[in-house]
Amino acid sequence: MRYILALAFFAILIPGIAIGRESTVSCHVPEGVPETHLLLLGELHGSKEAPALAGKIACARAVTGPVGLGLEIPLSEQIAIDSYLSSDGGKDAKQKLLAGEFWQTDDDGRASTAMFDLIEYIRQLKHRGMPVSIFAFARPGIRRHITRDAALARSIRNLHAEHSALRMVVLVGNVHASQAPVLQLGKESLVPAGYLLRDLHPVSVFLGYPAGTVWVCMPDCGIHQIGEVGVTQKPELFYRESPMPGYSMSFMLPSITASRPAISQPPR
């Protein structure tokens, strides 16, 4: 029998945060979010729902202290992200952020409209005075003897060391967040970033989903239909098991819906 950590949906509601005339922010978070200084959320890139969940968790955590939201975006975009977070969020600010190489060239779902919306959500929280920041941690152009996972782990470790007072919520691909020592992917094997960070005692949560769509490269980049993973579990609950190795917990998204690249949506 599956062990259910949370038996009912519990909403933590922060009163609407008004920014401008039409924009409001509130965070509704399921009961049972693990209390940890380093939370790794393993997502399938290219959905609307996973970035939205990461934002809500960061919002709820920020009620009681500083939070750092880690995104699998190149470190080279950090200055542009910081500039946007300090801006008014208007058309010019959005155009400046999306002019970055990452947003213009990345097609694997990480540079999606939902990811931009997550950054905008955090901008609104910051303008409300909530102690939340965004950290880009992906490292492009990795040298041959350093794997992508080793580089991701190094970035997260450095952020953790430099900002020890922060509780970190990290949204990353579900292979990278695993704490299994070796994952077999077809004929290849790898050591995930989550395993390389195990001395920091992170909690890895696999984000499961019903059948739906994602924007991802498989191998062509676009909207793809995907089957369910873990739908025998009820949605919007945390469980102390996972359909993927290396995870101590899973969370079931209520749906999964493709999010197109942010540059496909003209600034308004």
Q: Which residue type sits at 201?
A: H
| 21-30, 38-47, 129-138: least confident range | 21-30
Residue 20 above 50 pLDDT? no
Q: Which residue has the higher pLDDT, 15 or 161?
A: 161
**Which pLDDT does position 32 carry in this prediction?**
85
Per-residue confidence at 66, pLDDT binned at 50, 70, 90?
very high
The CB-side HSE value for 118 (13 A sphere, CA atoms) comes to 32
Q: Which residue has the higher pLDDT, 86 or 181?
A: 86
SS3 237: coil
Give the whole-angstrom CA distance, residue 101 versus residue 233. Answer: 39
Residue 187 above 80 pLDDT? no
| Beta strand 212-217 pairing with 221-226 | antiparallel
Per-residue confidence at 22, pLDDT binned at 50, 70, 90?
very low
**Which pLDDT does position 98 carry in this prediction?**
97
**Rounded (5°) CA angle 212-214-219:** 120
Contact 36, 201 (CB under 8 A): yes
226-245 confidence digits (pLDDT tens): 999 976 778 888 888 898 99
Residue 12 above 60 pLDDT? no
**Which pLDDT does position 142 carry in this prediction?**
55
- Portion of the chain with pLDDT greater than 90, in percent: 68
SS3 17: strand
Average of per-residue pLDDT values in the chain = 86
82-130 confidence digits (pLDDT tens): 999 999 999 999 999 999 999 999 988 999 999 999 999 999 999 999 9
